[in-house]
Amino acid sequence: MARLSVNINKIATLRNARGGNIPDVLKAAVDIESFGAQGITVHPRPDERHIRYSDVRALKPLIRTEFNIEGNPIESFRELVMEVVPAQVTLVPDAHDAITSNAGWNCVANREFLTRMCSFFHSKGIRVSIFIDPDPVQAVAARECGADRVELYTAAYAEGFSASPEKAIGPYLATARAARDAGLGLNAGHDLNLENLRYFIRTIPWTDEVSIGHALISDALYLGLEQTVRRYLEEARG
């Protein structure tokens, strides 16, 4: 069974649209854990348009499962992660004005930088995952940088799933095998949902963790947050 880490950025987006503290991001995180999720993910960006740096600091003492902070390791992000010391940091190469993450790292071209980042976060005992596109070469290169895990950027899988699940997952299966052979743990995230998650986990059952936010929070508008978390947990069991 893959662990489910719920990305709560969209809850913060809703709060920030009106000001004040409704919905309460901290309470939502605690509730999501109580509904069975095995982790909480946040992706703070410099403009703080959803999760704020102050949210990350406030969440740390409340999280009882696994806390994952993802983002581009610019200086302010690095300082925040080293202050909070989550269980995992996921390195994502998104630009400061990106609407959402839209590509993985080129671990070959950025090997020197990523090697420094892995060493930097390891100094605090933080597990490092590198966000990559479905390419076996990138999985091997991530291991050479010192990563503990890779997170597969699953947008292309989700986009192609309805037309041909087998074709859509092919590059991911090859990359997942390369990651496993290299001794890396395996995470996955981006556009995974109730329609495509089970097939992904059944095909790649050694997936350690899936990080899901937008689809899960959207489904919660119809199903309710508790029922939605439980539904995703069922799908993550494969």
In order of start, what are the domains of the chain with their CATH numbers?
3-236 (3.20.20.70)
| pLDDT attached to residue 1 | 85
| pLDDT attached to residue 98 | 61
Predicted TM-score of the model (pTM): 0.95
Concatenate the DSSP letters of all residues of the chain into one string. --EEEEE-HHHHHHHHHH-TTSS-HHHHHHHHHHTT-SEEEE---TT-SSS-HHHHHHHTTT--SEEEEEE---HHHHHHHHHH--SEEEE----TT-SS------TTTTHHHHHHHHHHHHTTT-EEEEEE-S-HHHHHHHHHHT-SEEEEE-HHHHHHTTT-HHHHHHHHHHHHHHHHHTT-EEEEESS--TTTHHHHHHHSTT--EEEE-HHHHHHHHHH-HHHHHHHHHHHHT-
Our answer to whether residue 235 is catalytic in this structure is no
Nearest to 184 by CA among 160, 212, 208, 218: 208
Our answer to whether residue 43 is catalytic in this structure is yes
Task: Please measure the distance between the N-terminal and C-terminal CA atoms of the chain and give it in whole angstroms.
Answer: 7
* Active-site hit among 70, 151, 209, 235: 70
User: Taking a C-beta distance cutoff of 8 angstroms, is the pair 216, 232 a contact?
Assistant: yes
Our answer to whether residue 214 is catalytic in this structure is no
* Active-site hit among 43, 50, 209, 235: 43
| pLDDT attached to residue 99 | 58
Consecutive 10-residue runs of the chain (238 residues): their mean pLDDT? 96 96 98 98 94 98 98 97 98 75 90 98 98 98 98 98 98 98 98 98 98 98 98 96
* Active-site hit among 33, 66, 151, 190: 190
User: Taking a C-beta distance cutoff of 8 angstroms, is the pair 197, 216 a contact?
Assistant: no
Residue 187 CA to residue 184 CA, distance in Å, equals 10
